[in-house]
Amino acid sequence: MRTMAEKVYSIIEVAQQDGKWGYSDINFSEGRSAHSPESAAGPGWRQISPVAIAGSGLAAAGSGEDQRRVYYQEQDRSLVGAAYDPSSSDGHWAGYRVFTRETGAPTADVGSAVAVTGRIGGLRVYYLDDGRGEDGRRPVRLAERGREWTYSVCADAPRGSPISPLAAVTTEQGEYAYYLDARGHLFEASWLGEEGWSVCDVTSGIEGCPTPSSLSRLTAVGCGTDSRLVYFLDENNRPVQLEHSVIAGTKKRPEGGVEWRLRRLSDYGAPAAAAGSQPAVVLTADGHPQLYYLDVDRMVVEVEFNGRGWEVNRAGADADDGAGAPAAAGASSLAAVPGGDRSAAQLFYLGAADLGDGPGDNHLIELRGAGDRWTSRNLGAELDLPDVATGVPSPFAAIRTSGPRVYYTSEE
């Protein structure tokens, strides 16, 4: 049993439903029965799933039927999947799985990022394991088939760096995870089914490919037959896009082919990012990428391909009729979801602590819009949200089901 003095890290869901915003704790439920164990959450609350560890990675997935899955690291570094089922009769968020216990999967490395891809019923969850010595920080793949889960470790992959980010995508052709090794090289770990794993040093395989910044985080998106886009910041904190494309057959090369292409977005006017800024990407209804990150003033920038060329929009600085959205806090993460009709995007980040509502207050900011028309909203102050965990960068995860939902780790 924990004492009241100990911090409890739980996952908070902030969601818009039927036009109204609200929040809930996915690890604790209001109302404690006579048979419920005491918890550090205080009277009137009962623990319904394992709590998170400080610095845990965080990833989420959802469906149009409003099913939701959230993945994080618990106290013994096992990976946990918390499940929300709208048809459940036992408290919606009462379902969870501890994958080390269920499948024998290795525990996660301290602070390992978590990535999820695919659809509910066939999800793929990735993290870096905590194997000792030279065997640690290898990609682990958890695979869902119905209600059954299996795991596989990419044992031949280079070790990830101690602070390596993770990104994962699924296309019609396969499943792919991306991470950084100790040299800062970007690696792709591909799952080939019965053939197992294939590993590629993407950085070395692309002529002139810059090395990611040591603080760079990753984001990626996949679509179509085998189109994959991966984004990172180079050593000058400038955004880079790597595009894996299928090349149609020609008379000279009827078999076609595939290739990686490098695109430096600074060539199109994209400004430098704040060191370590989290990039986030969504696809428009036409399948075009919209990339978001924080610039050196910690304001949100949008870099969009419109089908003809690239546009750069100062979304944060131009928001609210030119007054500007709040700047992001120094260690803020950034998460994005497309609008309901994919004509606009919704972004979430942690606002700086000097917004006028008192020192130490939390400020989860929503930034919504497209092009040069953006509006911001201080959800933290409006909803009196629980504190975001401090001391380490706290990841955000965002999905769209019946509405936008954003998740973060709280230390209350």
- pLDDT, tens digit, for every residue of 159-193? 999 999 999 999 988 899 999 999 999 999 999 88
Residues 110, 130: contact at Cβ < 8 Å? Answer: yes
Amino acid 193: pLDDT: 86
pLDDT at 256 over 60: no
Give alpha helix (H) positions in 230-302: none
Query: How many residues can be counted in the chain?
Result: 412
Q: How far apart are CA 154 and CA 112, in angstroms?
A: 15
Amino acid 226: pLDDT: 81
Residue the block writes with tokens 């040093």: 201
Query: What is the chain's mean pLDDT, rounded?
Result: 88
Q: E-strand spans in 41-87? A: 45-47, 58-62, 68-73, 79-84
* DSSP structural state of residue 385: P
- pLDDT, tens digit, for every residue of 31-41? 543 333 444 44
Q: What backbone torsions phi and psi does residue 103 show, to the nearest 5 degrees? A: -115, -15
Read off the pTM.
0.91
Domains, the chain: 55-410 (2.120.10.70)
Average pLDDT over residues 75-96: 84
- What SS3 class is residue 310? strand
Q: How confident is the model at residue 132 (pLDDT cuts 50, 70, 90)?
A: low
Number of H helices, E strands in the chain: 4, 30
